[in-house]
A and B are shown apart, each in its own frame.
Chain A
């Protein structure tokens, strides 16, 4: 079963613009993670935010977590064509161990 829902499902922007993707989840979590997947390839881990954190930065990435709303956002600043990929949020249930993935956002950055 899928834990999260991302929106938008698809996002098209120009290079240099910022891209924001949102993720909502259903139950209590230990942490929330964001992954990137280039077409037909494996997953790349981007960032992990714990349930007691509200914001985290990594390079051009900024992730927020609002546990009261059960939602997270991923912001990519100054996007590049190489950022074109699918982005997934994934969570671990407090009671379980497996990462459960959201449906994903497909980002297309044109130059």
Chain B
């Protein structure tokens, strides 16, 4: 099946710093990528949808200036958490969709902000 990777898998940072998370589709072209956030013992919450070459569409309540999404190519999307604070600590999961309807999920990135 199609493979989606995320990097890094783990990141610890100080409050106020920015963190970039990469999501790559390794063996297919992803016209659409999605970013989810998952807090402990909760479900995945959709943060935003990004299409290659266009601006991301953010879900209600997600600050677009805080969570910057760039989908510059058909195989790479990045999520930058700007000026991270402890409440941004979470598990961030990306997924990618090509011409088929199936969404393929990355392994997730655990962010801990101290």
Contact = CB atoms under 8 A, between A and B. Distances in A.
Given A1-B59, A42-B93, A30 B43 contact: no
Given A43-B93, A97-B97, A98-B49, A2 B43 contact: yes
A99 B103 contact: yes
A64 interface: no
Given A41-B107, A42-B107, A97 B95 contact: no
Contacts, number: 45
A103 B43 contact: yes
Interface string B17-59: 0000000000000001010100000111110010000000001
Nearest to B1: A45
B105 interface: yes
B46 A42 contact: no
Interface of B: 32, 34, 36, 42-46, 49, 59-60, 91, 93, 95, 97, 101-103, 105-108, 110
